[in-house]
Structure 1
Amino acid sequence: MSTPKIREIQPEDNQQVASVVREVLMEMGAPKVGTAYEDVALDDMYNTYRDDRKEYFVVEEKGKIIGGAGIAPLPGLEEKVCELQKMYFLPEARGKGLGVKIMDTCLQFAKEQGFEQCYIETLPYMKDARRLYTKTGFKSLDSPIGNTGHYSCTMWMLKDVD
């Protein structure tokens, strides 16, 4: 039995990461427009997360990317608020505690970068994801903050980075 490993994204991971995100969005029935599905950055995640105060982490098992999540400054509130971005897991990665582990990794990075709060946008039918966010301290908001461009995401959450 191999143990999945969490590590920083590498250039050779780009295609697998884009595939994971799009596959999970399609599985969940998410719209292709107004979500991460159509993000230009999705096809070059390594370079997208090379800027200051950004990082994307992947979960790798037996050489295959089975999930990932990233942290980046939230557009419009860059100084103090980051966004947990593109957190998606293939079915074989779910229910193993990997969501909590990668979220801890992301939030530790956010803290090291001096962010005070972490924001996330999600969809109503992503119940398992929302349960995880709530369990780890995210609180629901009545409206979006920042400017992500993901107008199809209708649930917003925020957590203090501590």
Structure 2
Amino acid sequence: MSQESIVIREIREADNAQLEQVIKGCFPEFEIPLKGTAYEDAETPKMFESYQGEKEVYYVVVKGDQVLGGAGIKKLKNYEGNVCELQKMYFSPEVRGRGFGKQLIIQCMEAAAAFGYAQCYLESAVQLKAAIHVYEQAGFKQRTEPLGNTGHYSCGVWMEKEL
């Protein structure tokens, strides 16, 4: 890897296509179902536009002009409580295992707390064992059933954290 620095910043419109590739590239690699997951979400191709509302933000990990991953916070869909969701945390192989997941979780939890959320929820796939481990290290606890209705019926791991 070159000496060019890797940074975390808020998403820009120009990041959409590269971020979509990073997200969708993880599904065949980890044998995650395409149906009932972020793979088929309408917002995946237009992540910048999807995180422009109140109390939501999406961060990307970039090296120069190259998008290498990201994660975001948004109000939990179809749920009445003061709960946000940690969404679409995916990374290219180039940056996995280098602490960026942990950094993004911290940054997202700080944003969620600043937005006034009381709790953070996430959904994942059982195949993403390393990610689940990072979530647990960050204080997320597994649930026995989902919250809200995200439409991600193929995600079999549900976790939550008090903020």
Same fold (TM over 0.5): yes
Moved more, 40-49 or 72-81: 72-81
Cα displacement (A) at 1:78: 5.0
Deviations 1:78-134 (A, max 9, x none): 551000000001111111111111111111110110001100101111100000000
The equivalences for 1:1-162 within 5 A come to: 1-77=3-79, 79-161=81-163
Q: Which runs of 5+ in 1 are unaligned?
A: none
> TM-score, normalised on structure 2?
0.96
**Aligned in 2, Cα 1:95/1:117: closer, same or farther, shift over 3 Å?**
same
**Aligned in 2, Cα 1:78/1:105: closer, same or farther, shift over 3 Å?**
farther
Q: How many residue pairs are counted as aligned between the two chains? A: 161
Secondary structure, counterpart of 1:60 in structure 2: strand
Which residue identity lines up with residue 138 of structure 2 in the other structure? T
Q: Distance in 2 between matches of 1:5 and 1:45?
A: 18
Secondary structure, counterpart of 1:88 in structure 2: strand
Q: Distance in 1 between matches of 2:120 and 2:44?
A: 21
Q: Distance in 1 between matches of 2:80 and 2:139?
A: 21
Q: Distance in 1 between matches of 2:117 and 2:79?
A: 10
Contact 1:138 1:157 in 2 (8 A): yes
Deviations 1:33-90 (A, max 9, x none): 0000000111111111001111110000132110100100001335510000000011
Q: Distance in 2 between matches of 1:139 and 1:26?
A: 27
Cα displacement (A) at 1:2: 2.6
Contact 1:73 1:79 in 2 (8 A): no
Q: Distance in 1 between matches of 2:149 and 2:44?
A: 18
Which residue identity lines up with residue 15 of structure 1 in the other structure? A
Using the aligned pairs only, state the percent identity.
42
Deviating beyond 2 angstroms after TM superposition, the runs of 4 or more aligned structure 1 residues are: 76-79
> TM-score, normalised on structure 1?
0.96
Secondary structure, counterpart of 1:40 in structure 2: coil
Which residue identity lines up with residue 52 of structure 1 in the other structure? E
Contact 1:72 1:85 in 2 (8 A): yes
Q: Distance in 2 between matches of 1:66 and 1:146?
A: 29
Cα-Cα RMSD: 1.0
Q: Distance in 2 between matches of 1:76 and 1:41?
A: 16
Q: Which runs of 5+ in 2 are unaligned?
A: none
